[in-house]
Amino acid sequence: MDSELLTLVVTDGDGSQLIFNLDQATCVSIGRAEDNAVVLPDASVSRHHAELAANGGRWAVRDRGSHNGTFLNGRRVAPQKSASVSSGACIEIGRYEIRVSVSGDSQDPSLVSEETIDSQDAFTVDADEPITGPTELESLEDAVPAARRRLRCLLAIEQANLELLGDEPLDIIYDKVLDLVAQAVRPDRAALFVLDAQDRLVRKAIQGQDRGRPMMVSGSLIERVMQENVAILIPCASVSQPGITDSLENEGVRCVMAAPMRYQKRTVGLIYADSRTTDASFQEDDLRVLTALANVAAARIELARLLEEERELIRHDHELRAAAAVQRRLLPRKSTPIRGYLVEGFNRPCFEVGGDFFDYLPLGNNRYGIVLADVAGKGLPAALLLMGVQAYTRAYVGLRPGVDGLAGFLNDGMLRYAPRNRFVSYVFFELDSATNTVRWCNAGHAPPPTIIRANGSLQKLDPGGPPLGVVADCSFPVLENKMSDGDLLVVCSDGVTDAANSQEEPFGDERLDKLLQSMAGNSPKEVQQKILDAVADHVQETPNSDDLTV
């Protein structure tokens, strides 16, 4: 063992962590003094407090006569005495907790994986399916408490969308996610795990851990969640059954659930929650809400990860190129297939990054969301704000698939968290391909979307409310139109109508309308290309002055 990699995960009392990877180590000194291999700079730690030593293929921790003692898995190690340490052990020194891992362990040492999860009573939810309406109730007596529980959870999820809108470090986001989990489903304990660059699960945040003992969770439960991309609830009656998990029973757990964090069909981590009291058993609705929270968290964590990665490039004079790479990854790479329809999208930022975006969102039941947004301003600040709007559009429709209430929700978030000089024009279409119905909401977007009827007539879908982030407590009406064979729905950003030539003459609404009137019978791809060609012919060699989306 003395040739293997020893990893020590040191957690401070405030939750911050340090990781020491000690290759080829045979003796590791721990203490407050600077000459230790692991320095713990706090008055609760002696100058030379303890040491880890390898002997005969085993590790042992020895207390070096410390003032406040050394604790192994909750039990004090006698002064100047040694105690055997295995991978996954927890050593406490002063205000610090040290988790021990030896090479060969593939993931966080708090995971235990000897047992299996095979209970027929376990309830699962597909992590990629949006939350639907309330589950069926067995009796009217269940209706009121179930409604109250669901309302509490839905409010917590809306709060999550707002609370996570800001640009904050990952460590703060992790803790906020667990705070929101605590509000929504009220677990006794919760933990958040994230996949690292080597696809290993690493615990990033924890709540409710007992002082003096490590938090152990079921490795087989975690493995199933990660491999099958399902959220799992094991109710109270199942945890105590034979063959479920010894680790859960040893921890005093009576009910447990875990949900994968999914982003763009990828699992990036998971959220775990458990309860130790039968009076606080989780319900199926709790698992659905945990699943929604996990997906909200995944979107925000991935955005933060992307930004942190690109900020490294920014420090090396690649700010705009890095941000452009992030934005391209967030735009659809190809048109979404919609039965009976052809869809095309194009985006060209004014600079390397821009303030326009479009997206396609499957809503279920033959319904699809199509969104276009335009932030006031250009460049990196506009792009950062737009990433938040895009992420929380996806989060909202994942919870409430459809256009109803979406603009009002985003408007409230903009007013609370966005800079006061920023606003967003926004239009969302909910297309039902089975009934050929389009329900839509236009929040100050111009030029207005236009339906080109098969006979060549134009129908404008004018704004029903102001841009997002301008007026509080305003309404955003949802309207409806029917689509017929041969009809075209065209929406573009003001980068089309504002495109100016060398005489500073804009392309303009009138020129766009005249062009659209000639488009009946064309395919979406042809319409898109003719608009782009017309704008190019108008501006000639004049540089782009705004982002352009069609």
pLDDT at 436: 92
CATH code for the structural domain at 5-103: 2.60.200.20
Please say if the pLDDT value at position 143 is more than 90.
Answer: no
pLDDT tens per residue across span 70-79: 998 888 888 8
- Tell me what percent of the residues of the chain surpass a pLDDT of 70: 74
Q: In this predicted model, what pLDDT tens digit does every residue of 202-219 receive, in sequence order?
A: 788 888 865 445 566 666
* Residue extents of the structural domains in the chain: 5-103, 112-130+145-307, 333-549
Rg (Cα) of the chain, in Å, rounded?
28
CA distance linking residue 237 with residue 222, whole number of Å? 20
pLDDT at 292 (0 to 100): 85
User: 335 pLDDT band (50/70/90 cuts)?
Assistant: confident
Q: In what order do the strands lie in the sheet with 458-460?
A: 458-460, 450-452, 488-490
Q: In which band, very low, low, confident or very high, does the pLDDT at 127 lie, cut at 50, 70 and 90?
A: low
Q: Answer whether 94's CB lies under 8 Å from 50's CB.
A: no
Question: Side chain identity at 238, as an amino acid letter?
Answer: S
pLDDT band at 354 (very low <50, low <70, confident <90, very high): low
pLDDT at 121: 58
List, for residues 373-423, the tens digit of each pLDDT value: 888 766 667 777 777 888 878 888 888 888 999 988 888 888 887 776 678
In percent, the amount of the chain with pLDDT more than 90 equals: 9
- Residue 308, pLDDT above cutoff 70: yes
Mean pLDDT for the chain overall? 78
Mean pLDDT of 434-440: 92
What local confidence, expressed as pLDDT, does residue 481 receive?
Answer: 92
Q: What's the N-to-C CA distance of the chain in angstroms?
A: 62
- What is the DSSP code string of 473-503? T-----EEEE--TT-EEE---HHHHT-B-TT
pLDDT score for 212: 45
Alpha carbons 76 and 85: distance in angstroms, whole number? 13
In this predicted structure, the answer to whether residue 281 has a pLDDT above a threshold of 80 is no
- The answer on pLDDT for 293 being more than 60 is yes
If one counts every other C-beta atom within 10 angstroms of the C-beta of residue 341, the result is 15
Most confident by average pLDDT, 84-88, 162-166, 299-303, 439-443: 439-443
Mean pLDDT in residue range 169-178: 88
Which is more confidently placed, 41 or 320? Answer: 41
Q: In the prediction, which pLDDT does 102 show?
A: 65
pLDDT of residue 89: 83
User: What is the structure's pLDDT at 2?
Assistant: 40
Contact 299, 393 (CB under 8 A): no
User: Is CATH 3.40.50.1360 what the domain over 333-549 is classified as, yes or no?
Assistant: no
Rounded to an integer, the average pLDDT of 248-268 is: 80
Q: Is 198 helix (H, G, I), strand (E, B) or coil?
A: coil
Judged against a pLDDT cut of 90, whether residue 63 lies above it is answered with yes
Q: How far apart are CA 260 and CA 130, in angstroms?
A: 14
Q: What is the pLDDT of residue 23?
A: 59
Query: 547 vs 447, which has greater pLDDT?
Result: 447
CATH topology of domain 112-130+145-307: Beta-Lactamase (3.30.450)
Site of tokens 């990660």: 226
- Please report the DSSP string for 412-432 in residue order: HHHHHHS-TT--EEEEEEEEE
pLDDT confidence tier of residue 114, bands split at 50, 70 and 90: very low
Contacts of 502 (CB under 8 A, 6+ apart): 540, 541, 542
Q: Maximum distance among all alpha carbons in the chain? A: 93
pLDDT at 136: 53
**Band (25; pLDDT cuts 50, 70, 90):** low
